[in-house]
Amino acid sequence: MAEARFFHITPTAKPRPLADLDQAVACLESPGYVWLDYYDPTREQIEPLVSALGVHPLTVEDCLDEEQVPKIEDYPGNTFLLVNGFRYDGETLVFEEIDFVIGKNYLITVHGHGDAGWRFLDGLADRVSVELDMAARGAEYLMHVILDYVIDKKLTAIEALQDRIDATEEDLIQDTGAFDPGALLRLRRDLLAMRKSLFHEREILGKICRRDSPFVGEKAIYDYRDLYDHLTKSFEIVEVYREMVTNAMEMYLSLVNNKMSIVANRTNATVRRLTLITTVFMPLTLLAGIGGMSEWSMMTGPANWRLSYPLFLAAMAVIGAISYRVLAWLERRDPNAR
């Protein structure tokens, strides 16, 4: 559900709620600045900002487009910033686009695209009330408070991701056979999405710290440098986690290959034993076939069967023993036999 809130903030008083955009525009002539906060706005709600505050039409398009990467754009009269907030909903990484338009005496925030039931800036009011002295110093300081809140939320999501990585590695080590490699792929996908967002946001803060934006004063640069350091830390943590997931993938493949090698070795050993048995019994089968058809007694004469059959059995035993000994000796000499 679309919502719009307007406040007039001065250094000497608490933020004063305003009724509508016209009243907010009227307060621009007064000391302090105005904060216009939009949640899941429609085009009809934010298009009046073009004529009322000089917001560029491309900024309106960017605020309504959910497929944008974090960026900073300077226009005559204001600067547009787009950053991402993210959190974990169960095991799903959820992104929230947060837009800023900062001018000389106003700050516009747009968030809650799609009204998914999750408000990333729900706790922002408490943060602003705690840091009200800082927010009262100017629009750039209020934007700093909001960005600091967003970056803290990012760290919370990154910590949740670390717990998922640790649990996944534990599952991988305990039972490789039942492990789902899709868990590693999902972690890698989330890390890549985080890295992409953090990379562009670090560039945004880098430009602000170089004073590329005329609406962030020199005194406020020191506070934004602190944000840059925090964002850089988050980026480096995500890079380390990417290495951990990559190593886990390699470890999983190695463990699977080792298990397959063990199974293959056992199969080879079984086949070798069956081959040995078959080789031993091949000449015995030949002799048994000859003796079983009575050719032996026919060759020596029926009267000599008492002598020929024991000799036949003895020959089978000797040939079997010799075949077994020879094959066993060849197997011991082969280093790949086991």
Residue 117 in domain = yes
**CB proximity list for 153: less than 8 A, separation 6 or greater:** 85, 86, 87, 120
User: So what's the pLDDT on residue 251?
Assistant: 85
* Same domain? 60 vs 115: yes
Q: Are residues 189 and 298 in the same domain?
A: no
Asked if 98 contacts 150 with a C-beta cutoff of 8 angstroms, the reply is yes
One domain for residues 164 and 303: no
Other CB atoms within 10 Å distance of the CB of residue 305: 14
Does some domain include residue 89? yes
Residues 95 and 219 in one domain: yes
How far CA 156 is from CA of 228, 281, 288, 328, in Å, comes to 17, 71, 80, 65
Residue 82 forms part of a structural domain: yes
Do 183 and 298 share a domain, yes or no? Answer: no
Q: What is the pLDDT of residue 239?
A: 92
Q: Check residue 240 and give its pLDDT.
A: 92
Residues 245 and 167: beta-carbon distance below 8 Å: no
pLDDT score at 225: 93
Specify the pTM: 0.76
What CATH number should be reported for the domain holding residue 189?
3.30.460.20
- Mark which of 235, 256, 277 sits at the end of a domain: 256
Q: Whole domain around residue 310: which residue ranges?
A: 265-333
For residue 79, is it within any domain?
Answer: yes
Assess whether 252 and 282 both reside in one domain: no
| Tally of structural domains, the chain | 2
Could you tell me if residue 311 is inside a domain? yes
Pair (222, 289) in one structural domain: no
Contacts of 267 (CB under 8 A, 6+ apart): none
d(CA 205, CA 5): 26
Q: Do residues 246 and 294 both lie within one domain?
A: no
For residue 253, what is the enclosing H or E element? helix 218-292
Q: Which residues, given as ranges, of the chain have pLDDT below 50?
A: none
Final residue before a domain boundary, out of 189, 223, 256:
256
Of 231, 256, 281, at which residue does a domain stop? 256
| Mean pLDDT over the full length of the chain | 83
Verify that 132 and 236 share a domain, yes or no. Answer: yes
- 242 and 104 housed in the same domain: yes
**What is the pLDDT, as a whole number, of residue 297?**
57
3-class SS of residue 41 = coil
Report yes or no on 338 lying in a domain: no
Same domain for 48 and 154, yes or no, is yes
Express each pLDDT in 156-191 by its tens digit: 888 888 888 888 888 888 887 788 888 888 889 999
CA R_g for the chain: 39
| Strand extents, DSSP E, the chain | 3-10, 13-18, 33-39, 71-75, 78-89, 92-103, 106-111
Does a structural domain hold residue 173?
yes
The CA distance from 262 to 176, in Å, is 14
Whether 90 and 151 map to the same domain: the answer is: yes
Nearest to 149 by CA among 111, 177, 175: 111
Q: What is the pLDDT of residues 255-272, one digit of tens each?
A: 888 888 878 878 877 787
pLDDT of residue 120: 65
pLDDT digits (tens, 9 = 90+) for 292-319: 555 555 556 666 667 777 777 787 788 7
